[in-house]
């Protein structure tokens, strides 16, 4: 996988019943090539409808929404936290329908950048520090072609693998990693003005604990929501301007103004990966969220039966609370 940066839960599985999800999110995390287990330590986004048509990780398009932080249900702890050390290589395993090399990872039209942020857990104002990014790394050679982007030409082409390293000397403690892919296929329109279009953001958060005797503290970063604005050149952008050929209409440059922290690794190389640990296909989910209404269900065979509804509103804690472990 390429590694350079060019820019300055709810889904409770019912075992044994297979289903199909859609849109991309992180299914697993490898630490130095060793898989930590499917869904382990990942705050999996909510499913947006019942099986079989629902899917996890609907894109976030409202830049002012709290869902920009870690997606829907991103405020909810999961029972595991992955222990890492400064310098460790983490490989996030993004997928669309299943956790296999045959999976398409993300729709082939969803060209755009990929970014990774790190924040103490829980986040505070301006606590997310960007430690990796990759965007447009090769322009198209003919008019109206998108060029090569991180999401499709790199991560999807490499079976969903996104690599990042834990910063050198990082102080021990609990952190959230916010990994993100951005689809720009409809970003020629401003979501505020054309709400059925606009850039699509796919954030996903992972719980980690950094161990060791490091003393480096993260500097001030950015807030989510708040980091991105509709006026940013990388939010409203026509990907079909990513060409060397001169066009008749002006095309914006693809830049993101938030710098990568100088404490991040300049290069993040891929490492050999071992076998995955856990399921490779999603199972039927027992709850989903539609317009902030949570529906919970039980199953008789493959048929869901609604047992309760409630209202979901994100509620982030101001203090770290250790997650409650559950038996594997």
The answer to whether residue 173 is domain-embedded is: yes
| 291, part of any domain | no
Task: Locate the DSSP E strands across the chain.
Answer: 13-18, 25-31, 34-35, 42-43, 82-84, 89-95, 114-120, 129-134, 136-138, 148-149, 161-165, 173-183, 200-210, 283-285, 287-290, 293-300, 303-311
What is the helix (H) or strand (E) element at residue 131, kind and residue range?
strand 129-134
Sequence-separated (6 or more) residues with CB below 8 Å from residue 237: 184, 187, 188, 199, 252, 254
Q: What is the pLDDT of residue 223?
A: 97
pLDDT at residue 244 tops 60: no
Say which range, 137-141, 287-291, 313-317, has the weakest mean pLDDT.
137-141
Helix, strand and coil content of the chain, in percent to the nearest 5, comes to 5, 35, 60
Q: Distance (Å, rounded) from C-alpha 250 to C-alpha 258?
A: 24
| Residue 119 counted as domain residue | yes
Q: Is-contact 265 89, C-beta < 8 A?
A: no
Q: For the chain, what is the domain count? A: 1
**Whole-angstrom Cα distance, residue 294 to residue 298?**
14
Report pLDDT for 36.
98
User: Tens digit of pLDDT for each residue in 48-88?
Assistant: 888 877 778 779 999 999 999 999 999 999 999 999 999 99
Residue 311 backbone dihedrals phi, psi, to 5 degrees:
-105, 130
- Looking from the CA of 237 toward its CB, the CA atoms found within 13 Å total 24
**Per-residue pLDDT, 243:** 56
Q: Residue 304: pLDDT above 90?
A: no
Tell me the C-alpha distance between 119 and 207, whole Å. Answer: 10
Please tell me the least confidently modeled range out of 143-152, 172-181, 314-323. 143-152
Residue 238 has pLDDT above 80, yes or no: yes
This prediction has a pTM of 0.89
Residue 32 belongs to a domain: yes
Structural domain of 103: 22-279
Q: pLDDT at position 1, please?
A: 52
| CATH code for the domain in which residue 68 is found | 2.70.50.70
Q: Are 27 and 40 in contact (CB under 8 A)?
A: no
pLDDT at residue 3 in the model: 40
pLDDT at 19 over 90: no
Per the domain annotation, does 249 fall within a domain?
A: yes
For the cut 80, the answer to whether the pLDDT of residue 125 exceeds it is yes
pLDDT reported for residue 12: 37
Does 260 map to a domain? Answer: yes
100 is a domain residue: yes
Q: Tens digit of pLDDT for each residue in 253-266?
A: 444 557 789 899 98
Task: Check pLDDT > 70 for residue 118.
Answer: yes
The answer to whether residue 138 sits within a structural domain is yes
């Amino acid at each position: 996988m390429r590694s350079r940066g060019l820019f300055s839960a709810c889904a409770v599985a019912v075992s044994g019943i297979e289903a199909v999800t859609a849109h991309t999110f992180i299914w697993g995390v490898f630490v130095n090539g060793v898989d930590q287990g499917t869904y382990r330590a990942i705050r999996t986004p909510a499913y947006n409808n019942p099986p079989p048509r629902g899917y996890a990780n609907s894109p976030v398009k409202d830049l002012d929404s709290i869902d920009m932080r870690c997606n829907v249900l991103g405020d909810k702890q999961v029972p595991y936290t992955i222990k890492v050390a400064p310098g460790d290589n983490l490989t996030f395993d993004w997928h669309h329908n299943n956790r296999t090399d045959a999976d398409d990872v993300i729709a082939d039209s969803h060209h755009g950048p990929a970014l990774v942020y790190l924040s103490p857990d829980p986040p505070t104002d301006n606590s997310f520090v960007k430690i990796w990014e990759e965007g447009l790394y090769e322009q198209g050679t003919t008019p109206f072609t998108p060029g090569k982007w991180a999401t499709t030409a790199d991560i999807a082409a490499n079976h969903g693998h996104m690599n990042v390293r834990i910063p050198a000397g990082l102080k021990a403690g609990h952190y959230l990693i916010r990994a993100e892919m951005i689809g720009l296929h409809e970003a020629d329109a401003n979501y505020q003005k054309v709400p059925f279009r606009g850039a699509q953001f796919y954030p996903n958060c992972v719980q980690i604990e950094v161990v060791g005797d490091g003393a480096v503290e993260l500097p001030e970063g950015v807030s989510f929501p708040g980091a991105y604005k509709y006026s940013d050149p990388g939010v409203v952008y026509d990907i079909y301007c990513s060409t060397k050929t001169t066009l008749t209409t002006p095309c914006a440059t693809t830049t993101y103004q938030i710098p990568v922290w100088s404490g991040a690794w300049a290069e993040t190389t891929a490492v050999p990966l071992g076998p995955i640990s856990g399921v490779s296909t999603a199972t039927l989910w027992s709850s989903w969220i539609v317009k902030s209404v949570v529906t919970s269900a039980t199953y008789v065979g493959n048929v869901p039966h609604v047992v309760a509804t409630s209202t979901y509103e994100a509620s982030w804690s101001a203090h770290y609370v250790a997650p409650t472990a559950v038996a594997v």
